[in-house]
Structure 1
């Protein structure tokens, strides 16, 4: 694995290796042990979109590992004034050890990887968000002590995070059922790719079908960045897909409820569930840090 552009860039064994490393790094951080394994190395973080968790977790990850993270807003870069993505990748490759890119178009991160001689990490595109799913798998394993054989229910918009979840579940032999309104289904090519990988993927319009006997229930925002003009339409069409107590009651008694944040209580998830005993969302958010530290070590060492 040279780059992480898609969850499909990983193998099952690589995922387990990264998760094992992340768990070890988490334990060492809790004990205050120094892990400056990337001392004197720098990464560049190209951000076309705003961020809280992604930016902070990558910056802290590099600090914890003894390195340095440069935040590169495209409005302040020459790429914002017409320099090509290819030239940007070639130049940054001479300065840095890794490029982390949070972009609007998946083609941008693919082009960065094509023209870069250093690793490129997709920190979110319109098609996928693999960094989130690695942290999610870490969280699931912490709570369930396994990954294989679980039922994962995605309820809501079949967006970029959903696409990566579908591929991630296929890689670890976890069933995934996606429940969404007509027109909000996940990418058809991703679904077909996951099935060819041996994944058990069901796409339905019935949230109860997804939630029934689920081990994991997952929510994400209904109005993502770039969808603001469709806000009222989306809120209306997705309203029956709110994760609330009635839906959680259909799942297993020890179900965990996940959300990649930011959350809008009262929209995609009720406050009662978000703040309730099944919610693991803040452990999930924390694990972005540990999982990304492991990913950086995997790519840069």
Structure 2
């Protein structure tokens, strides 16, 4: 039994296997007659819709479960929640506040557990990012990606792990205090956004203030004021594509013009959340 809690936990070659499955249209219905639990401690538009549709496309039945219905570590322990859900479902997927809940759930059951987002990792987003890069560039090996803004977050961490796994080159541009605290070997960190985008084929950013960071909002906006992805920064990159995991706050981390430019790939990225969720769930179900 294999779980998908973090890109870093996957064996060599697993990322390539999942991406290959994500591009296939002949996966059949490996989840026919089976349930997939979708536990959401945090709400999401893309994650819920993409994952539910992926389960349906694989012949399964997705069950959306709100945090109040299971009450991880309040109503029941993380272990008991997982044991209960494993009675009914072939795969347990969860979007949680604390990554340790996922680790405990995975340790308590035999069915695969998948991370739909935690405070540490967002592997399904990273898979969609790689598929987008591959579609637009025709390769992943040597692809040059620049991340601008808060690099010590779950999306940047999973992206860094994924880039290392496939041989892509990632440069993170962040101010002091917001750099990735545990960068994989080969990932470069700089302070200057202009330096990061030189020669980049993709420029990626995320919101400055994420869910649960409202008390830090003003400090974060000041820290990232020079890290906006705008027309001038994109011009320094040349003919680069723009990426964003969404939702975006136009006028903060990215301008409206960049979001709507012909080189913006954000909607392809969003669609690929469904394709890579389908590939990942098929992989967890044993399809190779």
Summarize the Cα distance change of 1:78–1:164 in structure 2 as closer, same or farther, 3 Å threshold: closer
Could you list the per-position Cα deviations for residues 240-275 of structure 1 after superposition, in whole angstroms to 9, with x for gaps in the alignment?
A: 10111111111142x111000001111111111110
- Contact 1:43/1:69 (CA < 8 Å) preserved in 2? yes
- CA distance in structure 2 between the aligned counterparts of 1:124 and 1:232, rounded to whole angstroms: 25
2:158 counterpart of 1:164: yes
2:268 counterpart of 1:294: no
Partner residue of 1:228 out of 214, 217, 234: 214
Structure 1 residue aligned with 2:234: 248
Structure 2 residue aligned with 1:10: 10
For 1:61-80, list aligned pairs within 5 A.
61-79=54-72
Q: RCO greater where, 1 or 2, for CA within 8 Å and sep 6 or more?
A: 2
- Contact 1:48/1:74 (CA < 8 Å) preserved in 2? yes
- Contact 1:90/1:117 (CA < 8 Å) preserved in 2? no
- TM-score, normalised by the number of residues in structure 2: 0.95
2:70 counterpart of 1:85: no
Could you list the per-position Cα deviations for residues 118-167 of structure 1 after superposition, in whole angstroms to 9, with x for gaps in the alignment?
A: 10111111111000000110010000000011211000011110001111
Give, in angstroms, the shift of residue 278 of structure 1: 1.1
Structure 2 residue aligned with 1:31: none
- Contact 1:149/1:175 (CA < 8 Å) preserved in 2? yes
Unaligned runs of 5+ in 1: 29-33
- CA distance in structure 1 between the aligned counterparts of 2:134 and 2:48, rounded to whole angstroms: 24
- CA distance in structure 2 between the aligned counterparts of 1:40 and 1:80, rounded to whole angstroms: 30
Structure 1 residue aligned with 2:174: 180
- Contact 1:163/1:187 (CA < 8 Å) preserved in 2? no
Could you list the per-position Cα deviations for residues 84-136 of structure 1 after superposition, in whole angstroms to 9, with x for gaps in the alignment?
A: 11111122112111111101111111111111211011111111100000011
Structure 1 residue aligned with 2:203: 217
Structure 1 residue aligned with 2:22: 22
- CA distance in structure 1 between the aligned counterparts of 2:29 and 2:83, rounded to whole angstroms: 27
Structure 2 residue aligned with 1:152: 145
Summarize the Cα distance change of 1:78–1:181 in structure 2 as closer, same or farther, 3 Å threshold: closer
Higher helix share: 1
Between 139-148 and 229-238, the greater mean CA deviation after superposition: 229-238
Secondary structure in 2 matching 1:249: helix
For 1:46-125, list aligned pairs within 5 A.
46-79=39-72, 81-125=74-118
Give, in angstroms, the shift of residue 236 of structure 1: 1.6
Could you list the per-position Cα deviations for residues 30-65 of structure 1 after superposition, in whole angstroms to 9, with x for gaps in the alignment?
A: xxxx94332101111111101000011111111122
- CA distance in structure 1 between the aligned counterparts of 2:74 and 2:23, rounded to whole angstroms: 42
- Contact 1:47/1:71 (CA < 8 Å) preserved in 2? yes
- CA distance in structure 2 between the aligned counterparts of 1:76 and 1:82, rounded to whole angstroms: 9
Q: CA RMSD in A?
A: 1.5
Unaligned runs of 5+ in 2: none
Structure 2 residue aligned with 1:239: 225
Give, in angstroms, the shift of residue 78 of structure 1: 4.8
Secondary structure in 2 matching 1:171: helix
- TM-score, normalised by the number of residues in structure 1: 0.91
Between 82-91 and 238-247, the greater mean CA deviation after superposition: 82-91
- CA distance in structure 1 between the aligned counterparts of 2:74 and 2:137, rounded to whole angstroms: 48
Aligned residue pair count: 285
